[in-house]
């Protein structure tokens, strides 16, 4: 059995592991008084996804990992099921973080905040529907 580095690099589980590890490391680096925190994983994920996709597109047909590169280009870096699952988890986490401050905001701004939230969502949905 021969180790195929290209297939290993283009494996979605390896990509997620590397992204989380480097993202958490990047999130702890201080830039003056600012740190990225766990959102460092998002930025590292964008860079790694861009890099791996570019690597897969430039893969020659004669190389050992061409089949894996072609599969990555056709199906995407991350499977649609994983993408949907982690998108739902991300949205739920952001919602839970924002929920602890919602009482203070509603007391301060009243119904204006709720109306503005629905209005922004409605305008975004209509713009998406209009452009489709």
Tens-of-pLDDT digits for all 132 residues of the chain? Answer: 678 887 888 888 888 899 999 999 999 999 888 888 888 988 999 999 888 888 888 888 887 778 888 888 887 777 788 888 988 988 888 888 877 777 887 788 888 888 888 999 999 999 999 987
pLDDT score of 25 = 94
Domain ranges of the chain: 5-79
CB neighbour list of residue 78: distance below 8 Å, 6 or more residues apart? 12, 15, 16, 49, 86
Among 74, 70, 76, smallest CA distance to 58 is for: 70
Q: How far is CA 100 from CA 39, 107, 113, 114, in A?
A: 19, 13, 15, 16
pLDDT score of 64 = 79
């Amino acid at each position: 059995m021969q180790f195929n580095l290209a297939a290993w690099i283009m494996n979605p589980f390896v990509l997620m592991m590397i992204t989380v590890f480097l993202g958490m490391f990047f999130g702890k680096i201080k830039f003056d008084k600012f740190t990225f925190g766990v959102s460092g994983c998002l930025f590292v994920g964008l860079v790694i996804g861009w890099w791996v996709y570019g690597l897969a597109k430039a893969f020659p047909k004669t190389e050992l990992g061409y089949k894996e590169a072609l599969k990555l280009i056709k199906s995407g870096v991350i499977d649609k099921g994983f993408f949907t699952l982690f998108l739902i988890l991300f949205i739920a986490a952001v919602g839970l973080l924002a929920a602890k401050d919602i009482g203070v905001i509603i007391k301060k701004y009243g119904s204006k905040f709720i109306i503005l939230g629905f209005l922004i969502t409605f305008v975004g949905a209509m713009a998406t529907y209009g452009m489709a």
